[in-house]
A = this chain, B = another copy of it.
Amino acid sequence: MEVDEVVCLPRLSRVAVCGGTHGNELSGVYLVRELLKVKKGVMEKEEEQEEEEPLSVLKVLSNPRAMQQCRRYVDTDLNRCFTHATLNGLTSGTVPYEMIRSRELNAMLGPKGRSGAVDLVCDLHNTTANMGLCLIAYSDCDWICLHIFRHLQRKMPDIPMRYIHFEVSNKESYSLDSVGKHGFAMEIGPQPHGVVRSNVYTAMKAGVQHMLDWVCFFNSGTLFEGESVDVFTMIKHIDYPRDSETRNITAAVHPHLQDRDFCPLHPEDPLFQTFSGETLRYKGNEPLYPFFINECAYYEKGIALSLARKRRVVIPTIRVQTEQEQAAHVQELASEEEE
């Protein structure tokens, strides 16, 4: 019997759990508030007590002003403010609140792309779409994120769960979770913005707990077996039909498509129903997987739904680096940064 290659990865010492990046996505707001109340360490596994370096969990309320107004954002979408250009560009005149806040968060959790950044950012979101629990990441080969995803899938078998991949470079990646060395958005729906539903809150709480558990297992040397995972890679967005003059939408998502996130959409399937009652069909030439179907916040972004291709990704067996390996790795990173 052949022994699979084991990939050894650096220890995850600092994890950030962020809520309220969008001020009206309330599960994350109330969960992070709750975590902030809980005595430090209670959320972490007891095993941790025996280790030398306990896991540091930063709990962050990302956009307090938007939370106070129960709005997605005050001036501009915070979760689009973490590109290299926005974080490092010159500013002049009146700077939008969220641009200031993104730099504060980058100082706290980053700097993005540098060795001082936290090891893992888990940013909590809600959607009005019927998406269950999704991890959304910029990489389809981040073994940490993919193993966490598999762990959550196993621990929460009653919750539909998917891994979504947005193919964007680290420099161009725009969301808060891109500030960490590893990171993902944990997106749960359906839940109206401005509302907290107990079932959605409870699923998010369990998801965060299992994620932190996994990190503790990983840090304490547990070997995680390789396996394969379905990854949904975003291919394109589709906008609502709109009036050419007013830009108002002229149709809603078709009732046959509404709430069918991640069910394959075939050419000629119903896509929209106009407000006068006409059915408009999907004109693509291959079946794709729709998600973010009828997400509230995306009306203004011109997105009625997104379409993904599904792929099976083989993830290797992983374990944490030994102290020796870790020391070598740190030296390697430092010399990279000097270059």
Contacts and interface: CB of A to CB of B under 8 A. Distances in A.
Interface string A232-263: 00000000000000001100111100100000
B296 A195 contact: yes
B196 A252 contact: yes
SS of A interface (majority):
loop
Interface residues of A, number: 32
Contacts of A193: 192-194, 296
Contact of A275 (B30, B194, B275): B30
Contacts of A192: 128, 190, 192-193, 195, 296
Nearest to A194: B296
Contacts of A196: 249, 252
Given A192-B128, A193-B192, A296-B192, A276 B34 contact: yes
A254 B195 contact: no
A275 B128 CA distance: 21
Contacts of A297: 194
Interface stretch (A139-147, A197-205, A328-336): A197-205
Given A34-B275, A34-B276, A299-B70, A258 B198 contact: yes
A33 B294 contact: no
Interface in A77-134: 128
A17 interface: no
A198 B276 contact: no
Nearest to A255: B198
Contacts of A198: 252-255, 258, 273
24 contacts: A30-B249, A30-B252, A31-B275, A33-B248, A33-B275, A70-B299, A70-B300, A128-B192, A128-B194, A128-B195, A193-B193, A193-B194, A194-B297, A194-B299, A195-B299, A197-B252, A198-B253, A198-B254, A198-B255, A198-B258, A199-B255, A201-B252, A202-B255, A202-B273
Given A199-B255, A199-B258, 20 more contacts: A30-B249, A31-B275, A34-B275, A34-B276, A128-B192, A128-B194, A190-B192, A192-B193, A193-B194, A194-B296, A194-B299, A195-B294, A195-B296, A197-B252, A197-B255, A197-B294, A198-B252, A198-B255, A198-B273, A201-B275
